[in-house]
Each structure stands twice: as structure tokens, then as C-alpha cells.
Structure 1
Amino acid sequence: MPLATTRRTGLVDQVIAQLKDAIAEGEWPIGQRIPTEAELAESLGVGRNTVREAVRALAHGGLLEVRQGDGTYVRATSEVSGAIRRLCGTELREVLGVRRALEVEAARLAAEVRTDEELATIAELLDQRDTAYRTEELETYIRADTEFHLAVVRAAHNDLLTELYRGILEAVIASVAATTDTRLPETEAIGHRGLLEALEAGDSARAMAEAAGFLDELIQEA
């Protein structure tokens, strides 16, 4: 999607907003190098200094990474994601610890307020996940497992909790991949049937225990 020409007021803020939109909408995926300052300045009809300030602000927010002599790359899709990625870095144990904090609380709330439709979605995703594991379809398994956990978080009906979890979604995907590729196909998939049963029964204590249990195991192994 081409960037729109900016107005002559608040240029830096306008450029920041348009670059953020391009990132959020997938114009430049995570890990991809964005156009040069000169190319962006020409596209937007602004000076290179304006573009430089906007890029610097987004790099400070964690969305972009400036690599001297190489270019500027997309690092995250939102400020929340960028901030948490900076806090977590690449340490698997830290990512799993953040996941534990969010997913255990989400499981507790979901057991109390989930709808039948949400429960059906969670069950369907779990079936897809387990089937993909048995058939050794790693990418499908990672996607289904991530969507399963996100569906549980959504079923908690807490918008802020969901936004925080979506903010670390890239890190969640990476953690699922990191804790799966060494397991396939020798071992069974980490079981989540107990969590599903707890949600179905409305048992918040068991839901919390199930959500914490497998993450504690992964943290010990990391």
C-alpha cells in the first residue's frame, strides 16, 4: 500500500503515523528492510531530516532497528510488542516467564466467563494442533498452538490482557518454535486437554494450574 503524501503541519508525527500503519498492515514484515531515507522522503514529499526523526522515534519505540551501514529493519509491529521484546530480548526463559504471567491469569478468567462458542473454537484449535503434531507438520503446529493460547486469552474478556498478549505474539510464536523443534517427532506434544476440560467445567483453580504446569516445565528446560 503506497504511503500518502503528507500535509505541511506536524510532518514528523504524520510520517511516524504512516510508517506505523505500513508496519501494522504488513507492508513491511518483521525482519524486512524498509526503504531508504531518500526513498521515503520522495514518497512522502518531506525532507530527509523529517524522515530521519520519524525513524529515530520508531527505533526508540522498538518498532524499527537501525543497522549502521546496512539499513533500517522492522523489529516489531506495535509499541507494546517492541517494548516487551526489548525487555525479553532473546532469552527463552524470560519470554516463557512473561507468557506464564499472562496465560495463567487468562486461564483463570476464561474458566469463569468464556462462552460456549469460544470453548468450541478453543477445542477446534487444540484438535488442529494435536493433529499437526502427530503428522509432523511443524509450521501448522506452531500456528495452531499459538492461536489456541490466543483464543484462551480472548476468552478471558479482558481487553487490556488481550492487547498485552497480542503485543508479545511474535515472541510467543518464537517460543513455541524453540520448544517444539527439538521434540518432534520423538515425544508426545505437550498436553493441553486438561486446560480445555477445566475451561469446560468452569474450574478456575484447575485452569490456572494447567496453564502454569506446562510453562513451568518449559522454563525448567530452557
Structure 2
Amino acid sequence: MPLSSPRRAGLVDQVIEQLRDAVRRGEWALGERIPTEPELAATLGVGRNTVREAVRALAHNGLLEVRQGDGTYVRATSEVSGALRRLCGSRLREALQVRRALEVEAARLAATERTDDDLAALARLLDERDRVWANGDEDAFARVDTEFHVAMVEAAHNNALLELYRGMAELVTSCVATTVRLEEKTPEPADHRNIVTAIAERDPERAARHAREFLDGLLTRHPAED
């Protein structure tokens, strides 16, 4: 594990930063259990209380999840993702509403800002999306569908919007997996291809409309939880 022994000053803050970096780099995968408190303390050369405080802080931020009697697991790879997962939790409708707010504007911007490389990436991911669905691999489908939506936001070439969306990518993957499981079918491929066609033709209003209609359809089919 590429963690270095922290300096004496601000030990807790330093351990927090090193653990955060390890999560961001993928040293521990999403959903994976991290090393135990004694193991981390020995690796970092600090006391167990320091490690405990750092883990507690990262759990509060949503990056880690402490399961009593089981261990500590990676819950998210960024504070933005952790906050969104904590706020939305298992409430699918809230996650869809957040997606709608960002994706409709991303589609609109992509239609005016996209490059030929952006279009090629979107086309490739659409084909990959159809392939993994045909193979019946729902986990791969959720991952590729998320990659498609991230690529659409990248095509908008708005760094602030992209950072926000990347922060919620894990929530999007969970959202896609849930809708596929509940609806027992793939989201309509035409919806996504219509969005890409409008982006390719540089028609921002049509791109935004198709993105909005797709997500409105999901919201209609998944009313508010009791």
C-alpha cells in the first residue's frame, strides 16, 4: 500500500489526506473493505486513536462506511459522491431528479461545444452499451451506461459541470442498476441515440428535449416513495 509515514504535526489531518488519496487512486475499490485499524496504524507509524479519528472523519464525509463487527468499507471515491449518496440514499426518485438537472443542460451544451472526438466516443459507448445488454450483463451495462452519460457531459466542455457530474458517477451507476432491475428491460436505446443525433447536428434544444424526455419517463415510472 503506497502510504507514507506522516509527520508529527497535524497527524490526523495527514492520515485523512493519505487515506482519501488511496481511495481516489483506487487502492481500495468501491465496496471493498480497507485494512484494519491496527494494520493502518502499523503501516503509517501512528497510534490507533489517530487512525480511528481519521476514519471517523472520512465516514462522516461519506467516503467510508464503518460496519460494526465487520470492518470499514469504501462507500464513495469523492466527497461529492459521498454527500449525494448520503442525501439521496436509496431514494431513486431523488437521484433521478439530480441527474435530470445536470444531464439536460449537459446535452444542450454538448450540441454546441462537442468535437468530432466527442461524437466518436459517444457512438462507441452506445454500441458497447447495446452489446453488454445483449449479453445479459447488468453490472457491465450499468457501468457502460454511466460512462456514456459522463462522456456526454464531457462533450459539453464545461469543467464545473463535469466535476459535479463525475462526483456523482457512482450514484448514476447505482441509479441505472436500480432502474434496470425494477423495469426488467433496457432503457430505450432510441432515447440515447436521439440525444446523440441532436448533439451531432448541433441542435441544442432538441438534445435537451430528448434528454429531458428520457429522464421524465423514468421519473413518471418511479413515483415518490412512501
Assess if the C-alpha contact under 8 Å between 2:100 and 2:215 holds in 1. yes
Match of 1:128 in 2: 128
SS class of match (1:193): helix
Per the alignment, residue 19 of structure 2 pairs with 19
Go from structure 1 to structure 2 and tell me whether the alpha carbon gap of 1:67 and 1:51 turns closer, same or farther (over 3 Å shift): same
Deviations 1:186-221 (A, max 9, x none): 995463111011101111111111111111111111
Q: CA–CA distance in 1 between the matches of 2:159 and 2:118?
A: 15
Alignment RMSD (CA, Å): 1.9
Secondary structure, counterpart of 1:196 in structure 2: helix
**Could you tell me the TM-score, scaled by structure 2's length?**
0.91
CA drift of 1:171 comes to 1.2
Q: What residue identity is the alignment partner of 1:206?
A: R
> Which residue pairs with 1:218 in the alignment?
218
Give the 5 Å matches for 1:38-187.
Answer: 38-183=38-183
- Deviation, structure 1 residue 181: 3.4
Structure 1 residue 30 corresponds to structure 2 residue 30:
yes
Deviation at 1:49, TM superposition (A): 1.6
Query: How many Å separate the matches in 1 of 2:173 and 2:214?
Result: 16
With over 3 angstroms needed to count, the CA separation of the structure-2 counterparts of 1:134 and 1:68, relative to structure 1, is closer
Deviation at 1:140, TM superposition (A): 3.5
| Uncovered stretches (5+) of structure 2, i.e. residues with no partner | none
Gap change, CA 1:59 and 1:199, over 3 Å in 2: same
Q: Structure 1, residues 90-110: CA drift from partner, whole Å, max 9, x if none?
A: 111111111111100100111
Q: Distance in 1 between matches of 2:187 and 2:99?
A: 23
Q: Identity percentage over the alignment?
A: 61
Residue 88 to residue 188, structure 1, CA distance change in 2 (3 Å): closer
How far the C-alpha of 1:2 sits from its partner, in A, is 3.3
Determine the C-alpha separation between the residues in 1 that align with 2:138 and 2:71: 32
Unaligned residue ranges in structure 1 (runs of 5+): none
Q: Distance in 1 between matches of 2:39 and 2:134?
A: 48
* Number of positions where the alignment pairs a residue of Structure 1 with one of Structure 2: 222
SS in 1 for 2:180: coil
- Does the CA contact (< 8 Å) of 1:133 and 1:189 recur in 2? no
> Do the aligned partners of residues 202 and 186 (structure 1) sit closer, same or farther apart at CA in structure 2, a change above 3 Å counting?
closer
Separation in 1, partners of 2:86, 2:213 = 26
Give the residue type in structure 2 aligned to 1:50: T
Distance across 2 between alignment mates of 1:186 and 1:205: 25
Q: Which residue pairs with 1:191 in the alignment?
A: 191
Q: Check the 8 A contact 1:133/1:184 in 2, yes or no.
A: no
